[in-house]
Structure 1
Amino acid sequence: MDKLRLEQAKALVAALESNDEEEVERWMDELTTARESTLFLELGKLTRQFHDAMMSFALDNRVIELTEKDIPDAKERLNYVISMTEQAAETTLNAIDEIMPVTDAMAVGVEDLAARWEKFLHREMPFEEFKAMSKEISEHFASSQTGLTLVQGKLNEVLMAQGFQDLTGQVIKRVIELVHDVEQNMVELIRISGKRFVPEAKAVQPEAEEHLAGAGPVVPGVDDRKGNTMASQDDVDDLLSSLGF
């Protein structure tokens, strides 16, 4: 490069000595263009170094946050899901264990009374047997009322136990988001370290992300700030890459 510039400078001096204004102007343009090209190249390199340094700094902080806070938090969240699921299953099974004997007894009682009632309708039942059946019917009504009250209570317990699904669904969704966040940071770490990877692996959908520490729906300008930042950083990186830096 220096040898080329020296030759260009000599040619410029020769043009000046010969008073060739056209050649002087041409060599001045070439020297100026070369200088501007070199300046542009150096500026591009500095911009790339600064951009990568900023990305590396942001990534380091995020990786530390994931390691020290988010991943342990995800473990606790999943343990919570397991605990709630076990409690709901235990409540449901216990309720069934208590309900089954009651419903079985009610079924046997109804079957026996139904057969004897048919006998009564066909006038095949003596009066004394009818009196005994009437007493049994009254007792059956009382026991059925008690049994149905128990069944209703246990079914309510089962229903309440299933309420865990809404909470655990939210927890699992957040853990999935965390896994996605970890994946993106690992891909970014590979990119910064200069490794080659499949382009599809670093595709980011900012609109699908929600900040892990937040709660409730996405709020424009708040929860989606991270996604916008990632998009702008990718734009800078793409621009530098397109310029060859």
Structure 2
Amino acid sequence: MAFSPLNSVSVEEGHALLQRHLISLSEAIARTRQEIADLRHEQEASRACDELHAVVHGTEQATNTILTASETVDSLARGIAKQSRDGATRADAQAIQTQMQTIFEACNFQDLTGQRISKVVRTIVLVEERVGEMLRLWSGAGGAPAKPVADRRTEEEALLNGPVLPGEATVSQDAVDAMFP
């Protein structure tokens, strides 16, 4: 007969030990449930999502204002370059146009920022849903676990993952070039 720690203790001691472990486990689960509930209330995920949406909207409006003003300046510079008979003035107007092109290109930040913030919002919503599901299961309110949350993105959105953060694994341009003969 193999040695078992229960062989050296009485049945009553074994029951008491098991009961203490179950009580300890139950208390740990209760503490975890409370911590998750506190975290959920503290984080106010939906508020964070609203704030991030406001950031996207604000940067979009600011970018549109910048682009509109830049197009006006570019158009004025183009007109000056065409009408000017002075070479220096024409060169200055063309330099302004070149700088305006730089501004147009830099305004792409808004699109990239919006994509990154959208990734964060999706993550917050996913975490909020999962925490809610855990609370529901632990409270005994639900029987079977819920099905995994379906990806609600359109086919195009699922393909367009937006910019990656610095240091994330990415495909190099050399790897892309190697795919084409």
TM-score by length of 1: 0.44
SS in 2 for 1:196: coil
Count of aligned pairs: 140
SS at match of 1:200: coil
- Is 1:144 aligned to residue 90 of structure 2? yes
User: Which amino acid is the alignment partner of residue 85 of structure 1?
Assistant: E
Give the structure 1 partner of residue 101 of structure 2: 155
**8 Å contact from structure 2 (residues 40, 131) kept in 1:** no
Task: Look up the SS of the partner of 2:117 in the other structure.
Answer: helix
- Judge conservation of contact 1:81–1:168 (CA < 8 Å) in 2: yes
Determine whether 1:196 maps to 2:170: no
What is the match of residue 59 of structure 1? Answer: 33
Q: CA deviation at 1:166?
A: 4.4
> CA 1:168–1:184 in 2, change beyond 3 Å: closer, same or farther?
same
Structure 2 alignment gaps of length 5 or more: 1-10, 150-164, 169-181
Cα distance change on mapping 1:59 and 1:84 into 2, 3 Å: farther
- TM-score normalized by the length of structure 2: 0.56
SS of equivalent residue, structure 2 residue 143: coil
| Other-structure match for 2:68 | 93
d(CA) in 2 for partners of 1:52, 1:75: 36
CA distance in 2, matches of 1:201, 1:147: 58
Once the two structures are superposed, what CA deviation does each residue of 1:202-222 show, in whole Å capped at 9, x if it has no partner?
Answer: 8xxxxxxxxxxxx9879xxxx
- Relative to structure 1, the CA distance from residue 188 to residue 68 in structure 2 (aligned partners, 3 Å threshold; closer, same or farther) is same
Give the secondary-structure state (helix, strand or coil) at the position aligned to 1:139. Answer: coil
What displacement does 1:164 show? Answer: 4.0
Distance 1:153 1:216, change over 3 A: closer
Alignment of 1:10-159 (within 5 A): 43=18, 47=22, 51=25, 53-71=27-45, 72-103=47-78, 109=82, 139=85, 141-159=87-105
In terms of fraction of residues, the more helix-rich structure is 1
Q: Give 1:96's aligned amino acid.
A: E
The one-letter amino acid of 2:133's match is V
Task: State the 1:55 CA deviation.
Answer: 3.2
Q: How much identity, in percent, do the aligned residues show?
A: 9
CA–CA distance in 1 between the matches of 2:166 and 2:135?
30
Distance 1:59 1:166, change over 3 A: farther
Please give the root-mean-square deviation of Cα atoms over the aligned residues, in Å: 4.0
Distance 1:173 1:96 in 2: 31
CA separation in 2, counterparts of 1:217 and 1:101? 42
Write the letter of the residue equivalent to 1:160: A
Instruction: Provide the C-alpha distance between the structure 1 equivalents of 2:120 and 2:30, rounded to a whole number of angstroms.
Output: 25
